[in-house]
């Protein structure tokens, strides 16, 4: 496995793999790898011959009061996990490598970045789409793997790839959860034991909501109210949003049906957690 910091070296190693007839799979991450990331790496290995993982805490997707500085960066452990999971190339650039000069060119997907997480994180998706466009240009993958955990991100990236006629396919993989249902996230490490216990209510609220829908409830307001009631079992939880939207347009809908995304964001102290379910 190669661990590479420079763009030119990545380009030439990927070019070599491609000239050997290999298909290229790409998993972009910010590191602090967990089973959620590893599930994407496994999916990439199943579908592709040569797997590239990027580990880059992208500053342009963090707001000024967000956790850029304290974001975990256990690079040695991450490299070990990549090695164990048959990654061919880890791209671990410094910020100066990815942003060599003041960045004047941005990729901005409109409308679907303004709702849900975009309401409280202005410019977040602009940072995500810009860095993904840069990474896609560097790695030139056939397939890139994203998690359903960040549902809005997956929708936005798919839209960017489609609108800009990028030559790759986006594969979205299921959410990997802890034993109590909490979606795995690098940010779970910020939680104290007491906060971690209450964080499980996020998944519980979505499970209750799924049961309600299975019983025949379709009204978005009723479902939202029930999620809010479950979350109110913990005084530590502050609800940021509960959104019931169409999975592609991300527009609010009044009645759920197949293809509806139910997405929730909460804060426990300074830690922001998101989760979602897709109605099938
Ligand atoms: P991050 O390192 O947080 O930027 O995440 C990198 C990729 O891993 C993104 O596509 C995420 O959606 C995905 N991911 C993060 N957590 C999970 C999870 N629990 N299950 C599945 N995919 C995940």
CATH number, domain with residue 46: 3.40.50.620
Enumerate residue ranges in the chain where pLDDT < 50: none
- The answer to whether position 235 is within a domain reads yes
- The answer to whether position 180 is within a domain reads no
- Count up the domains in the chain and report the number: 2
175 lines ligand 1 (CB under 6 A): yes
Nearest CA to ligand 1 atom 5: 29
Task: Give the domain range for residue 44.
Answer: 2-173
pLDDT at 266: 98
**CA 174 to ligand 1: nearest atom:** 21
Q: Are 166 and 190 in the same domain?
A: no
**CA 187 to ligand 1: nearest atom:** 3
pLDDT at 118: 97
Q: Are 194 and 150 in the same domain?
A: no
Of the three residues 173, 203, 235, the one that is the final residue of a domain is 173
**CA 185 to ligand 1: nearest atom:** 16
Its pTM stands at: 0.98
113 lines ligand 1 (CB under 6 A): no
Distance in angstroms (rounded) separating the CA atoms of residues 53 and 42? 11
pLDDT at 98: 98
pLDDT at 11: 98
pLDDT at 258: 95
**Alpha-helical runs (H) found in the chain:** 7-19, 35-47, 75-84, 95-98, 117-120, 124-139, 151-163, 193-214, 220-231
Q: Are 103 and 150 in the same domain?
A: yes
pLDDT at 31: 98
61 lines ligand 1 (CB under 6 A): no
Of the three residues 115, 142, 173, the one that is the final residue of a domain is 173
- The answer to whether position 280 is within a domain reads no
- The answer to whether position 20 is within a domain reads yes
185 lines ligand 1 (CB under 6 A): yes
pLDDT at 169: 98
- The answer to whether position 181 is within a domain reads no
- Pairing relation of β-strands 24-29 and 237-246? unpaired
Distance in angstroms (rounded) separating the CA atoms of residues 10 and 240? 39
pLDDT at 16: 98
Q: Catalogue the active-site residues.
A: 37
Q: Which of 29, 90, 147 to mutate to test the pocket of ligand 1 (most atoms within 8 A of CB)?
A: 147
pLDDT digits (tens, 9 = 90+) for 147-194: 999 999 999 999 999 999 999 999 999 999 999 999 999 999 999 999
Q: Are 190 and 166 in the same domain?
A: no
Q: Are 74 and 149 in the same domain?
A: yes
pLDDT at 109: 98
Q: Are 139 and 63 in the same domain?
A: yes
- The answer to whether position 190 is within a domain reads yes
Ligand 1 centre from 37 Cα, in Å? Answer: 5
- The answer to whether position 178 is within a domain reads no
Query: In CATH, what number is assigned to the domain containing residue 232?
Result: 3.30.1300.10
29 lines ligand 1 (CB under 6 A): yes
pLDDT at 81: 98
Q: Are 152 and 230 in the same domain?
A: no
- The answer to whether position 230 is within a domain reads yes
């Amino acid at each position: 496995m190669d661990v590479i910091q420079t763009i030119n070296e990545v380009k030439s190693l990927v070019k070599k793999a491609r000239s050997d007839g290999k298909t290229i799979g790409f998993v972009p991450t910010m590191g602090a790898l967990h089973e959620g990331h590893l599930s994407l790496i496994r999916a990439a290995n199943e579908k592709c011959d040569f797997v590239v993982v990027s580990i880059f805490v992208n500053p342009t997707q963090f707001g000024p009061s967000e956790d850029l500085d304290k974001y975990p960066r256990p690079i040695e452990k991450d490299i070990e996990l990549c090695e164990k999971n048959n990654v061919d190339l880890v791209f671990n650039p410094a910020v100066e490598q990815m942003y060599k000069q003041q960045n004047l060119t941005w990729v901005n997907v409109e409308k679907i970045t303004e709702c849900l997480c975009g309401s409280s994180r202005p410019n977040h998706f602009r940072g995500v789409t810009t860095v993904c466009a840069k990474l896609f240009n560097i790695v030139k993958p056939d397939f890139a793997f994203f998690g359903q955990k960040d549902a809005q991100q997956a929708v936005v990236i798919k839209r960017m790839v489609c609108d800009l006629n990028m030559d790759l396919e986006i594969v979205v993989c299921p959410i990997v959860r802890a034993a109590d249902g909490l979606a795995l996230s690098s940010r779970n490490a910020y939680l104290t034991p007491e906060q971690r216990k209450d964080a499980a209510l996020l998944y519980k609220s979505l499970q209750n909501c799924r049961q309600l829908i299975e019983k025949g409830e379709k009204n978005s307001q009723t479902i939202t109210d029930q999620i809010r009631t479950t979350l109110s079992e913990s005084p530590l939880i502050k609800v940021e949003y509960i959104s019931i939207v169409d999975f592609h347009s991300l527009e609010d809908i009044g009645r759920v049906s197949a293809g509806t995304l139910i997405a929730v964001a909460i804060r426990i102290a300074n830690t922001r957690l998101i989760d979602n379910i897709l109605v099938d």
